[in-house]
A and B are shown apart, each in its own frame.
Chain A
């Protein structure tokens, strides 16, 4: 069964703390994505990874960084979290790029106080 997992599912942090969001997939997909979802804004692409150590900025990369050391894992890091980074974060993966279907994880709800 094809699956994208995310950990943790819920997280509360204080402003200035570091945040690590983890994503995994068991489909050997090349491409992985991090999005954030805010009311009225839909999904905004933060970073895209085309394979191990091959990452590119999306539309809103400021304040975030990513790490992909294994094909099945993709991490999103917030160094010194800010209150405006409170959001729901979704990870997705696709076989390749472009026209391939993206499969989404369950999401992580992050609250930065």
Chain B
């Protein structure tokens, strides 16, 4: 079945730098993807939902890239600020089965 590997598990950056998180998946039939943000002690909040038809997705302060050939989903926090400090989870889906979540990346942004 589908497997999702998320890297790195931990990431420390300075304010203003970029933070880059990658998920690789194995099933080429996967066609929809999610990024969730979880602040300390809180629940998961949807950052972005993307479909395989769009390779570059712009959000507020971040970009989601999808490389279907390499089966890689990436989240780039551009110009990170302390409010971006959180855990980030990718999730990969296809019809007929439940989402598969990555193991998460804890991002720490220092001033």
Contacts and interface: CB of A to CB of B under 8 A. Distances in A.
Interface of A: 33, 40-43, 45, 48, 58, 90, 92, 98-99, 101-107
A17 to B, nearest CB: 25
A43 B101 contact: yes
A107 B41 CA distance: 9
Nearest to A41: B103
A111 to B, nearest CB: 15
Contact of A90 (B6, B44, B93): B44
Interface of B: 6, 9, 31-32, 34, 36, 42-46, 49, 51, 89, 93-99, 101-104
Given A42-B89, A48-B98, A90 B43 contact: yes
Contact of A40 (B95, B101, B103): B103
B98 A58 contact: yes
Contact of B98 (A33, A42, A103): A33
Given A99-B32, A102-B99, A42 B104 contact: yes
Given A99-B32, A103-B46, 19 more contacts: A33-B98, A41-B103, A42-B6, A42-B101, A43-B89, A45-B99, A90-B43, A92-B44, A98-B32, A98-B95, A99-B51, A99-B93, A101-B46, A101-B49, A102-B34, A104-B36, A104-B45, A106-B43, A107-B42
Contacts of B42: 106-107
The 10 lowest CB-CB distance pairs between A and B, nearest first, are A42-B103, A104-B44, A43-B101, A99-B32, A104-B43, A42-B101, A106-B43, A42-B104, A98-B95, A45-B98
